[in-house]
Structure formats: structure tokens, C-alpha cells
Amino acid sequence: MLTFIGSQDGLDLANSTQVGFFPVSSSVYPLNRSAGTIEHLRQAYTTSSDITLYFFCDHRSQQKQILMRLLMSLARQLATRSVTCYQHARQLHTDKKKRDERHLNRSEYLSLVKTMLRDFARVFIVVDALDEAPDKTMIVETMKDMLEPPVSSVAQRHDLVVKIMLTSREDLGIHRSLLPMTHVRLSLENATRKDVELYVQASIVERILSRKINLRDKTLANSIKYTLMKFLQARLQLDMLSALKNDKAIRLALEKLPSGLTATYQQILASTVEHYPAQIRDIRVILQWLVCSVEVLSAARLAEAVAIFPEDDTLDFDAVSTDPEDVVEPISELVLLERHENGTTVQLNHFSVEEFLLDESMVTGPLKQLHVSLEEAHSTMAQLCLQHLSFSNFSTMNYAGAPSHRQHRVIQEEKARYSLLRYSALYWQLHLRCSSLSRDSFIRRIVPRLGWFLNAEDQPNLFRHWRAVVNQTKRCSHSPICFAIEMGLHHVVDLMLPKVLNVNHVFTDGNTCLAAAAKGNQVVIAKLLLALGADVNVPVGKKMLTPLHIAAERGYADMVTLLLSVGASPHAQSDSISTPFYRAARSGDIEAMKVLMENGSDTNASTWDNWTPLMEAVGHGHEKAIDLLLSFNANPRVRPVSNFTALGLAGRLSFESIRDKITKYLKHTDESGLESLAT
């Protein structure tokens, strides 16, 4: 399969910034395919502003070395092609030498490469054999970082198009690392036909001959007949055949060999149900987690998940499998295990397995007990996460006050001991939101496990424990009600809101209920709060931002429209004297800016240091916002305390298109003083 991430309408090799992921199905990695792609790109894009870069991963490289080799290779190729890029590298080397430093570190190389990229209009980067890399995720994150502007600027060069192609064997972990970018899949089936033939022949000969079975010719013919179209189907069928013990069993299996992936999956699961009838509940739980998990799962996490039963109020470690890999043994043909220093990760071995498990046709068939319903899976996972967080194991320590070294150590030890703890703390709300439970089901299934959150004052240790675990990954100072509002947990809000005596109360986290709704773009909840008397102009936090400031800065046009319709002031000022319109210019959201202008916002309202909305839009590279501002006669001649104009800022950041827009506007309106405004 070919997956191209970032395009809604299909492949677009020339115009938009994208990351492509190309999983391949072959026993021998087809390097010629990437080489052909590189050659095609070099022939198709030949201008001086185009460049094709490439890197081949090698499993022999050490984990810390491969990323450095990648960055060094890209920098070398760029410096060879461009004098400007060479000068960037030479200047950095000179600066390092002055500081008596000889070598660039990883972040310096990354910054250098990102700076060099801006010397071109179109950049194609091909990273081949990603599955061979010791740390695939690190390379994926670095490639995604290539799409971000260099640290020396606030935004990416306006006309720079970066295309990144990653090739690898099918790997769900890489797919999830690339989320939430959109993707399109195109079949590479025909291109892998020869690979499949060679693999099937070699595998069958090796497996059958090693056991001296006399049916290899028939096995070879039948397997190739049924598996040329899909390599995965071939591998699964080979696994089934090689497990048989005699010629008769193989002959019977060949007569019933499934003719497609769906039939193959059905046969695998039917065999699983037959051989593991006592473990159906565990298998169903594991499949739900593998389909709906936000992160790639460890075997230890799955082992802990299946060891928890609805009546448990503490984790019984005796019920957790001694060898975590044992829990996935019944579905071993459907999963991929990757063993690392810190344990084993588990994922479905192909996206088609997930599609099969989610298919509604399973609901009425003999395998209905293993069908995965997304809503039910999310409900089950939300229940289990909340139950885990309510275990009495976590209620003994007092987490009041500022985090201490002892608290930090205890949390670290708990996360090492309880495999599900971190995941439960971070994602229970996501699974609850995705569950779409009715109110009655929510009351019956979730509320009994949510007492520590709904009644935090009665169970403060459990609530503080949850927040302490979350705070080790991302900051969370929310009061329960504000967290529920921002996350859009409607049933939770319905239960908690009647207990709020003053809807305009400023909680210890610095939020009002309406401010939390603005942060999460929760329009429905905001309407409920407004009906209860929420004051639309109450500022919150150290920055003294109103809900309108918050919604405008995050580009939530619908929330901005709602707040303005009920009397939110478009002229409200924060502690830095910024207006909601100024904050909207920072987000670059055109619709939010238009609504604010229609409601009387001053397009030139500046902050304490005379920084204007136009300066903010320029600094963040929002070209459409700049077009809108200039069309409404925003003043590009203003000089803030930093003493450079919008035109000067565009020049400093090398935003040539933006600089041209402002120059054209100034020439059209008044040419006088144009040279001085360029600084």
C-alpha cells in the first residue's frame, strides 16, 4: 500500500507541504523502488529552486547515530547544491570554532538543515527503509519538524514546499506517529507481484522441506494461486500451513484455503475461538485496545488491561500474566510484536485487520463476539481507565501543595509498576468523549468509576494523584468542572454544573466556566453557561484574557461569533493591552478576524509596546491575514518599541512574498519614506 499523508484530494507532488508514508510488502526490501522515485523527481523537477534529497536507513547504525547521519547527509547534499547553503554551514562552523567547539549537536544540525531548505522553492526528501532504523519514531518526528520554521524565524518561508517520502514495511506505529495529518492510500499491488512470487516460493520450500513433507509442489501451486494479489494473505496462509503436522492435514487445508484476506481473517479468528474458548473475553478486550488505543501498546499494558475485572477496587498483580506476551498468543497471527530494551510493543500487523474487525458484517456472523464497535470499545476503555485511576492503591499519599521530589519519585515508581497508569490518566477523557454513551448508560457504566473526579473534595487524594500523573507529561491545573467543560464531557458537565453556586466563579486554576468553554471551543456548553448567566466579559488568568480573547487567539470563529452575539466587548484589553482582534491576527483565522471587524474592532489597536495586529500577522507568516488587514487599511508604517516596521520584520524573517505585498501596498498608497520603512 501507498499512503500519502497531508493531501485531502490525492497526491499532489508539486504544490503543498506533505509527508508521504509508503509501506511495502516484501521479504527483500525493494530499494530500487525508492531509487526510481528519486530518479523520477530529479528528472521532473530540474530548476535551480528544486532539490531532491535522500537517505537510506541502515539497521547496523546505533540508535543515537542514525539521526545524526541523516541530518549530516541532508546538510551535505544541500551545501553541495547551493552556495548560500554552503555559506550557512561555513558561518556556523566559524561561529563554533570561535567558541572552541568542534562538532555540531543534533539540534544545531536540524536548525541548519531547516535554514538551508529555505534557499529552495520545492524540496523533496526521500527516507528509505525506515523500518531498518533503530528508532523509527525519532526519525518521523524529525521529518515532521522539517515542516516547521527554523528556530531563527517565527514561521516557514511562504513559498517553500516540502515533500517528505518515508518508505517502510507496514508499521502502525509510524502511521500513528504521523497523525493527525490526513492521508490517502493507493495500491502498490502490481508493483509487488514479483516480490510476492519469490517470497511465497522461497518460504514454502524452506518450511516444507525442513519437515520432509512430500506435498511441496501442490502446496506451492495452491499458495501462489491464492496469494499473488496480497502478500499479507500469503504470509498468513503460510503460517497456518506450516503449523500443520502431516500430509493429510496439509491436503485438507489446501482444499479449504481462503480466497481473500477477509476469508483468511475469518478462518484465523474461527480457529482462535475454537482453541481458546475460555479466553474470548480477554481476546475481545485486547482487540478493542489494539483498534482504539491512542498510543502503540506494550504487551505489559495489555496484560494489565485483561487482568482487571469490573468488581476490582485494586490491582491484583497475581492476576497479571507473568510473561505479558502470553496474552496475545491466541491472536499471534494478527499482531506484530517488536521487542525493545524496555519491553515488547504490540500492534495489528496491517490496517486491513482493523478494517475487518470493524466491519458491520461481523455483527451477525459466527464471530460476532469478536466484532469491534468503536463506540463500545471507547466506552469499555473509558471504564477501565477510570476504574484504574480509582484504585485504592493510589489513595494513601497526600498530593496537596506544590510537587515535591518525593512525589515525583513516587509517581515515577508507580508508572513503572502499573503499566496502565500513565495511559489511563492521559486518555480517559478522550475515550469517554468518543464513546457517545447515552445519559442512562453513562450513569450506569461510568459514574460508579468517576466518583474521585465528580466528588474531588471527598476523595482529594485520588483527584490530586491523577493530576500529579498528568502533570509529568503536560501541565494540568484544572479544577474538575473546568476540565470537563474544556474537554467537552457533556454528561460530566451536566452532573457537576448544578453544584456550581456561582457560574462566574474564578477557580483556583484561573478559569471561569465560560473561559474553559472558550479554550475548548465548546459552543454547546457555552450556550448553556450563558443561559445560566455567565458574564461574557470576565477576564481570567495572569494575562487578564476574556473568553473572546481566548477564542480569537485559538481561531475559533464559531465561538467568537457566539460571544459577540451576547455582548462580548471587541475592545476588551488584556494585561498587555491587546484586543481580541490582535489575538485573532496571531491565530491567522480569517473568519474570526472578519467577524471581529464587522463588530467594530480597531484593525490598528496596538499593545503596550506599539505592536499592531499587522505586525503579529507578519511575525507568524499569516499571508491571508495580512491581505485582509491591508484591505482594511491596517497601517504598515507603525514602529513599535523594537523600532522596525511590518516591512522591516518581513525582511528580517526573509518572508519575501509578505515583504512584496507590503511594499506594493506602500507604493500604491504613498511612496514617501519607503526606504526607511524597510528597516
CA proximity to 295, closest of 431, 464, 394, 434: 431
- The DSSP H or E segment spanning 163 is strand 161-169
pLDDT-derived band at 421, boundaries 50, 70, 90: very high
Q: What is the Cα–Cα distance from 164 to 588, expressed in whole angstroms?
A: 26
Q: Which residues make Cβ contacts (< 8 Å) with residue 381, sequence separation at least 6?
A: 288, 289, 292, 293, 427, 431
Least confident of 15-29, 143-157, 169-183, 505-519: 15-29
Confidence (pLDDT) at 340: 86
The letter for the amino acid at 421 is: L
CATH of the domain at 591: 1.25.40.20
Mean pLDDT of 101-107: 78
Residue 269 has pLDDT above 90, yes or no: yes
Final residue of a domain: which of 372, 394, 424? 372
61 C-beta neighbours (distance < 10 Å), count: 17
Question: What are the residues facing 340 on neighbouring strands?
Answer: 343
Mean pLDDT of 616-625: 93
Residue 416 has pLDDT above 80, yes or no: yes
Q: What is the Cα–Cα distance from 238 to 250, expressed in whole angstroms?
A: 11
Q: Which residues make Cβ contacts (< 8 Å) with residue 361, sequence separation at least 6?
A: none
pLDDT-derived band at 631, boundaries 50, 70, 90: very high
Mean pLDDT of 540-560: 96
More confident residue, 460 or 301: 301
pLDDT in tens, 475-519: 656 789 999 999 999 999 999 999 999 999 999 888 999 999 999
Asked whether residue 576 falls in the same domain as residue 648, the answer is no
The answer to whether 616 and 607 have CB atoms below 8 angstroms apart is no
Q: What is the Cα–Cα distance from 594 to 598, expressed in whole angstroms?
A: 6
Residue 380 has pLDDT above 90, yes or no: yes
Confidence (pLDDT) at 677: 53
pLDDT-derived band at 33, boundaries 50, 70, 90: low
Asked whether residue 7 falls in the same domain as residue 112, the answer is yes
Confidence (pLDDT) at 156: 44
DSSP E strands: which ranges in 13-90? 18-24, 50-56
User: What is the reported pTM?
Assistant: 0.64
Is the residue at 132 inside a domain? yes
Asked whether residue 201 falls in the same domain as residue 277, the answer is no
Asked whether residue 8 falls in the same domain as residue 148, the answer is yes
Asked whether residue 100 falls in the same domain as residue 129, the answer is yes
Q: Cis omega (within 30 of 0) on the bond before 180? A: yes
The answer to whether 476 and 399 have CB atoms below 8 angstroms apart is no
CATH of the domain at 74: 3.40.50
Least confident of 133-147, 539-553, 583-597: 133-147
Asked whether residue 572 falls in the same domain as residue 647, the answer is no
Confidence (pLDDT) at 206: 62
Residue 585, classed as helix, strand or coil, is: helix
Mean pLDDT of 92-113: 82
Is the residue at 398 inside a domain? no
Mean pLDDT of 355-377: 92
The per-residue pLDDT of the chain, averaged, comes to: 82
Is the residue at 508 inside a domain? yes
Question: What are the residues facing 21 on neighbouring strands?
Answer: 3, 166
CA proximity to 395, closest of 443, 445, 456: 456
Q: What is the Cα–Cα distance from 243 to 222, expressed in whole angstroms?
A: 17
Residue 164 has pLDDT above 60, yes or no: yes
Is the residue at 377 inside a domain? no
CA proximity to 58, closest of 128, 139, 3: 128
Confidence (pLDDT) at 435: 94
Mean pLDDT of 385-396: 91
pLDDT-derived band at 245, boundaries 50, 70, 90: low
Confidence (pLDDT) at 490: 96
186 C-beta neighbours (distance < 10 Å), count: 12
Domain around 636: 604-679
Asked whether residue 332 falls in the same domain as residue 231, the answer is no
Confidence (pLDDT) at 511: 92
Asked whether residue 183 falls in the same domain as residue 312, the answer is no
pLDDT-derived band at 168, boundaries 50, 70, 90: confident
Is the residue at 446 inside a domain? no
Q: What is the Cα–Cα distance from 448 to 436, expressed in whole angstroms?
A: 18
Asked whether residue 217 falls in the same domain as residue 354, the answer is no
Residue 443 has pLDDT above 50, yes or no: yes
CA proximity to 296, closest of 384, 408, 179, 392: 179
Confidence (pLDDT) at 96: 80
Final residue of a domain: which of 222, 238, 259? 259
Instruction: Choose from 12-21, 61-70, 593-602 the range with maximum mean pLDDT.
Output: 593-602
Q: What is the Cα–Cα distance from 423 to 564, expressed in whole angstroms?
A: 38
pLDDT-derived band at 2, boundaries 50, 70, 90: very low
Residue 54, classed as helix, strand or coil, is: strand
Residue 596 has pLDDT above 50, yes or no: yes
Confidence (pLDDT) at 513: 96
Residue 637 has pLDDT above 50, yes or no: yes
DSSP 150: P
The answer to whether 217 and 31 have CB atoms below 8 angstroms apart is no
Confidence (pLDDT) at 184: 42
Confidence (pLDDT) at 236: 60
Residue 155 has pLDDT above 50, yes or no: no
Final residue of a domain: which of 201, 226, 259? 259
Residue 50 has pLDDT above 80, yes or no: yes
Q: What is the Cα–Cα distance from 476 to 467, expressed in whole angstroms?
A: 6
Confidence (pLDDT) at 66: 83
C-alpha cell, 383: 471504564
Asked whether residue 328 falls in the same domain as residue 207, the answer is no
More confident residue, 380 or 156: 380
Q: Domains in the chain: how many in total?
A: 5
Mean pLDDT of 150-166: 64
Asked whether residue 222 falls in the same domain as residue 308, the answer is no
DSSP character string of 307-338: T--TT-SS--GGGS-SSGGGGGGGGGGGEEEE
Is the residue at 419 inside a domain? no
Confidence (pLDDT) at 63: 57
Q: What is the Cα–Cα distance from 642 to 610, expressed in whole angstroms?
A: 9
More confident residue, 193 or 76: 76
DSSP character string of 410-460: HHHHHHHH-TTHHHHHHHHHHHHHHH---HHHHHHHTGGG-HHHHTTTTSH
Is the residue at 459 inside a domain? no
Confidence (pLDDT) at 328: 94
Confidence (pLDDT) at 285: 97
Residue 239 has pLDDT above 70, yes or no: no
The answer to whether 493 and 485 have CB atoms below 8 angstroms apart is yes
pLDDT-derived band at 346, boundaries 50, 70, 90: very high
Q: Which residues make Cβ contacts (< 8 Å) with residue 229, sequence separation at least 6?
A: 189
Q: What is the Cα–Cα distance from 571 to 602, expressed in whole angstroms?
A: 8
Mean pLDDT of 129-152: 75
Asked whether residue 590 falls in the same domain as residue 624, the answer is no
Is the residue at 330 inside a domain? yes
pLDDT in tens, 185-232: 443 444 455 555 555 566 666 665 665 444 445 544 554 444 443 445
Q: What is the Cα–Cα distance from 108 to 509, expressed in whole angstroms?
A: 37
